Amino acid sequence: MINHWCYSIMAALSLLEIKLKFVWNLYKLFWSVI
């Protein structure tokens, strides 16, 4: 059961990291256009 929780947390963190990188790239792109 604990392993399942750890896996869920790790998956959520990696998804969050991917979203943050995506947002950061959009942010940089936005400022390079201006």
Is residue 5 over pLDDT 90? no
Is residue 14 over pLDDT 90? yes
Work out the percent of the chain whose per-residue pLDDT is above 90.
Answer: 79
Q: What is the value of pTM for the model shown?
A: 0.62
Is residue 2 over pLDDT 90? no
Rounded alpha-carbon distances, angstroms, from residue 7 to 2, 11, 31: 9, 6, 36
pLDDT in tens, 21-31: 999 999 999 99
**To 10 degrees, the CA torsion angle through 21, 27, 28, 29?**
110
